[in-house]
């Protein structure tokens, strides 16, 4: 199997800087086609940045981002917009268009990219909404939905064009246990039923580990570890273990770097 | 507190200067990108009409009410001063010229910045912070074309129309005070106005001013919204900036335009 067939997304030697701060330094990530891949790491380590790099909303300072055999940083703006039809992203906030109702939100990508007749748009929208269990809510406006429902509608919108790659940005944050369970099931279900490649960026350990086939742990501009959830749980690396087991102090220190405590209290300024 | 040395202060000052220039550049590229280049999504006309309603029609109330009051006040003040010289018939031409040349475009632009400009900034900023702009991009729709362009055109088109409405309503309010309340002879009120107002010199110059103000105010508003930091503080800062920058820009440009139009250089 060639690399392009096996991997939907390949990051090679990727570096990214924001201002003077280095977010990623020479990172390699390969995401297998048709699998659920988790990208985990502590808050603020640049997980969302990584998604935006894959979606080419950000340009890497260095390195290559291969998606379906195309190196994104070399594409023109209009080629990128075409490329993005193959990708769906579920943003943290859902990002529904607040001036459109649920039906129009899901229909939006179809109306933009296809010239399907109205009846067919209707059928597709209802099918996508049925898949996320919200067909009955098609008339509601986004502000009438609960947080979990918003995310499900956004998911229906993300799969409206049947993308090959679906990315989830922190899908579990701020969800109650029921909504969380629904989302976990949906992500797995959509992945297997539609044969898409899913990338889940999250710091929710249990949920991500329960659906991911493969996990990358990022932190400190590097890939700290990778493997199946079981492999990572028993990792040799103390940093990966600290993250996977959630201990407060360890290689990732509890204290923000500071001058010596005693000097700070007693010493002259 | 950290101390800043003199050298550090000079450095910060230079930095601020560079930032201003960089922002100007960025906002120009932003606007060019929004207005030129190939199309966005949906039906542009429909998007524009929706925004014309939100930006223009919804500003009508404040413009009409302010216009009436400004016209009434002008008339009252003018009458008091002019009657000292026994020339209260000239109050019509005074009200009309003041409104058409200055107050119509300027006050409308200031109100427009407060009413429509701040709303545009907050709306776009909110779309940014709730990732609606990113998600448009991911769907393959350029938010500059889909969100920014129709809003910009709506502001650009609405502003001159609103300024004209403001002037008309103001003149009507002035006539009401002068003719109906203070007893200025109606015939001389309107005749004086008709004789002294020139179409090109006064009406057209006022419209040109309002077109320029419409361009600048809307530009500032959409750029601040698009460029804001996507947090609640960021949005509130951007909204304030819109009103402050737009007001300053309007007043500054008004002087320059007036000097060019009526300055006899």
**Cα A257 from Cα A214, distance rounded (Å):** 32
Question: Does residue B47 fall inside a structural domain?
Answer: yes
Question: Does residue B159 fall inside a structural domain?
Answer: yes
Which residues of chain B have a CB within 8 Å of the CB of A108? 139
Residue A1 has pLDDT above 60, yes or no: no
With CA atoms as reference, report the closest residue to A91 among A167, A205, A7.
A167
- pLDDT for position B25: 92
Buried b (16+ CB within 10 A) or exposed e, A34-48: ebbbbbbbeeebbbb
**With an 8 Å Cβ cutoff, is B43 touching chain A?**
no
For residue B33, give the chain A residue with the closest CA. Answer: A77
The number of folded domains in chain B is: 1
Q: pLDDT tens for residues A152-171?
A: 888 889 888 888 888 988 88
Which residues of chain A have a CB within 8 Å of the CB of B131? 91-93, 95
Residue B151 binned pLDDT confidence (cut-offs 50, 70, 90) = very high
Read off φ and ψ for residue B150, nearest 5 degrees: -60, -35
Cβ atoms of A38 and A195 closer than 8 Å: no
Residue B37 binned pLDDT confidence (cut-offs 50, 70, 90) = low
Q: pLDDT tens for residues A71-129?
A: 888 888 778 877 888 888 888 877 888 888 999 999 988 888 888 898 999 999 998 89
Q: Do B134 and A109 count as a contact with CB atoms less than 8 A apart?
A: no
- For residue B32 the two structure tokens come to 């060019």
Q: pLDDT tens for residues A19-78?
A: 778 888 888 888 888 889 988 877 777 788 888 888 888 888 888 888 888 888 888 877
With CA atoms as reference, report the closest residue to B72 among B101, B111, B103.
B103
Question: Does residue B88 fall inside a structural domain?
Answer: yes
Q: Do B130 and A113 count as a contact with CB atoms less than 8 A apart?
A: no
Residue B1 has pLDDT above 60, yes or no: no
Residue B40 binned pLDDT confidence (cut-offs 50, 70, 90) = low
CA dihedral in degrees (A66, A71, A76, A79; nearest 10)?
-50
Residue B42 binned pLDDT confidence (cut-offs 50, 70, 90) = low
Q: Do B131 and A91 count as a contact with CB atoms less than 8 A apart?
A: yes
- pLDDT for position B41: 60
Read off φ and ψ for residue A223, nearest 5 degrees: -85, 115
Cβ atoms of B96 and B199 closer than 8 Å: no
Helix extents (H) in chain B: 6-35, 44-51, 60-84, 91-97, 104-112, 118-129, 132-139, 143, 149-175, 186-196, 205-227, 232-262
- pLDDT for position A98: 85
Helix extents (H) in chain A: 3-6, 47-54, 77-83, 102-113, 118-131, 147-158, 177-194, 205-211, 229-233, 238-245, 261-266
Cβ atoms of A144 and A108 closer than 8 Å: no
Residues of the domain holding B135: 43-262
Cβ atoms of B92 and B190 closer than 8 Å: yes
Q: Do A82 and B132 count as a contact with CB atoms less than 8 A apart?
A: no
Query: Distance between terminal CA atoms of chain B?
Result: 53
Question: Does residue B25 fall inside a structural domain?
Answer: no
User: In whole angstroms, what separates CA A262 from the centre of its chain?
Assistant: 43
For residue B42, give the chain A residue with the closest CA. Answer: A112
Share of chain B above pLDDT 70, in %: 96
- pLDDT for position A175: 79
**Cα A216 from Cα A224, distance rounded (Å):** 8
Which residues of chain B have a CB within 8 Å of the CB of A84? 137-140
Q: Compute the mean pLDDT over every residue in chain B, rounded to the nearest whole number.
A: 90
- pLDDT for position A269: 54
- pLDDT for position A33: 87
Residue B207 has pLDDT above 80, yes or no: yes
Which residues of chain A have a CB within 8 Å of the CB of B137? 57, 81, 84
- ipTM of this predicted structure: 0.73
Residue keyed to tokens 């606007």: B31
Higher pLDDT, A158 or A236: A158
Question: Does residue B26 fall inside a structural domain?
Answer: no
Question: Does residue B27 fall inside a structural domain?
Answer: no
Contacts of B64 (CB under 8 A, 6+ apart): B165, B166, B169
What number is the average pLDDT over the span A239-250?
76
Question: Does residue B5 fall inside a structural domain?
Answer: no
For residue A100, give the chain B residue with the closest CA. Answer: B132
Question: Does residue B11 fall inside a structural domain?
Answer: no
Query: Distance between terminal CA atoms of chain A?
Result: 64
- For residue A207 the two structure tokens come to 């949920």
- pLDDT for position A4: 62
Q: Do A112 and B140 count as a contact with CB atoms less than 8 A apart?
A: yes
């Amino acid at each position: 199997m060639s690399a392009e067939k096996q991997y939907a997304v390949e990051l090679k030697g990727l570096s990214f800087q924001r201002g003077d701060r280095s977010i990623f330094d020479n990172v390699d990530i390969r995401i297998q086609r048709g699998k659920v891949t988790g990208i985990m790491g502590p808050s603020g380590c640049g997980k969302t940045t990584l998604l935006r790099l894959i979606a080419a909303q950000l340009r890497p300072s260095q390195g290559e981002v291969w998606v379906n055999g195309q190196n994104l940083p070399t594409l023109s703006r209009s080629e990128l917009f075409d490329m993005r039809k193959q990708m769906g992203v579920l943003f943290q906030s859902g990002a529904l268009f607040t001036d459109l109702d649920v039906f129009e939100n899901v229909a939006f990508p179809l109306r933009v990219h296809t010239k399907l007749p109205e009846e067919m748009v209707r059928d597709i929208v209802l099918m996508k909404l049925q898949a996320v269990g919200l067909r009955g809510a098609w008339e509601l406006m986004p502000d009438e939905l609960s947080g979990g429902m918003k995310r499900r509608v956004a998911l229906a919108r993300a799969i409206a064009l049947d993308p090959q790659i679906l990315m989830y940005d922190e899908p579990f944050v701020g969800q109650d246990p029921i909504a969380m369970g629904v989302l976990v099931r949906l992500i797995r279900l959509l992945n297997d039923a539609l044969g898409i490649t899913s990338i889940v960026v999250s710091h929710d350990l249990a949920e991500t580990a329960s659906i991911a086939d493969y996990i990358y742990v990022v932190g400190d501009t590097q890939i700290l570890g990778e493997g199946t959830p079981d492999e990572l749980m028993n990792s040799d690396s103390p940093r990966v273990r600290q993250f996977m087991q959630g201990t407060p102090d360890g290689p990732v220190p509890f204290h923000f770097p500071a001058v010596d405590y005693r000097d700070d209290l007693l010493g002259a300024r | 507190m950290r101390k800043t040395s003199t050298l550090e202060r000079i450095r910060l000052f230079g930095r601020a200067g560079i930032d201003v220039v960089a922002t100007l550049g960025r906002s120009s590229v932003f606007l060019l990108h929004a207005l030129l280049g190939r199309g966005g999504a949906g039906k542009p006309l429909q998007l524009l009409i929706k925004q014309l309603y939100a930006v223009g029609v919804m500003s009508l109330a404040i413009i009409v009410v302010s216009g009436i009051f400004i016209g009434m006040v002008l008339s009252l003040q003018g009458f008091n001063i002019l009657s000292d010289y026994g020339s209260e018939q000239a109050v019509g031409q005074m009200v009309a010229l003041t409104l058409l040349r200055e107050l119509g475009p300027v006050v409308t632009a200031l109100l427009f910045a407060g009413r429509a400009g701040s709303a545009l900034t907050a709306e776009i900023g909110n779309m940014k912070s709730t990732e609606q702009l990113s998600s448009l991009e991911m769907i393959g729709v350029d938010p500059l074309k889909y969100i920014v362009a129709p809003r910009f055109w709506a502001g650009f088109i609405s502003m001159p129309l609103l300024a004209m409405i403001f002037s008309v309503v103001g003149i009507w309010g002035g006539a009401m005070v002068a003719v109906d309340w203070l007893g200025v002879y109606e015939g001389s009120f309107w005749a004086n106005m008709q004789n002294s107002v020139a179409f090109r010199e006064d009406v057209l110059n006022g419209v040109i001013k309002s077109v320029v103000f419409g361009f600048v105010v809307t530009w500032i508003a959409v750029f601040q919204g698009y460029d804001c930091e996507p947090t609640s503080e960021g949005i509130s800062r951007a909204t304030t900036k819109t009103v402050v920058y737009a007001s300053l820009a309007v007043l500054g440009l008004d002087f320059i335009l007036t000097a060019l139009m009526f300055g006899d250089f």
